[in-house]
Amino acid sequence: MDGKPIQPESFDIPRGHYSPGFVSGNLLFVSGQLPISKGVAPDAAMPFEAQARLVLANVLTVVTAAGGKLTDIAKVNVYITDVALWPEFNRIYADVFGRHKPARAVVPVPALNYGMKLEVEAVANLG
């Protein structure tokens, strides 16, 4: 399979064996992003809204690094540790995405890396 890994300069190199994004054909697959910033220790105590905005910004950073834009995002998967946070996330998500409404799944999970409250992955069509 031919493809191109995407590693935004503003991201730390992943500790695991993966790329933040991977382009295959016209599709960009964005790996699960956590609300973390380059060179900054993960902070699980960060307020939920800040985590949500940062994780969505991280997804968009990968999309942009691959030459795409927000409206190229076709599918989003959200993993959230407390389903009671879903309404707040939905509000923030709508604010970030505006009129663009890609397909989406929200999946409650028991725990995420570094104790974060959410992780987001996406698929974008760059064609």
pTM of the model: 0.96
Give the model's confidence band at 2: pLDDT under 50 very low, under 70 low, under 90 confident, else very high.
Answer: confident
Contacts (Cβ under 8 Å, ≥6 apart) of 108: 80, 81, 82, 83
**93-110 pLDDT tens trace:** 999 999 999 999 999 999
pLDDT of residue 1: 62
Integer CA distances (angstroms), 16 to 20, 48, 66, in order: 10, 25, 20
Residue 50 has pLDDT above 70, yes or no: yes
- Amino acid sitting at position 4: K
Give the model's confidence band at 5: pLDDT under 50 very low, under 70 low, under 90 confident, else very high.
Answer: very high
| Spatial separation of the C-alpha atoms in residues 31 and 29, rounded to whole Å | 6
Give the model's confidence band at 37: pLDDT under 50 very low, under 70 low, under 90 confident, else very high.
Answer: very high
Q: Which CATH class is domain 4-125?
A: alpha beta
**64-96 pLDDT tens trace:** 999 999 999 999 999 999 999 999 999 999 999
**17-34 pLDDT tens trace:** 999 999 999 999 999 999
- As a residue count, the chain comes to 127
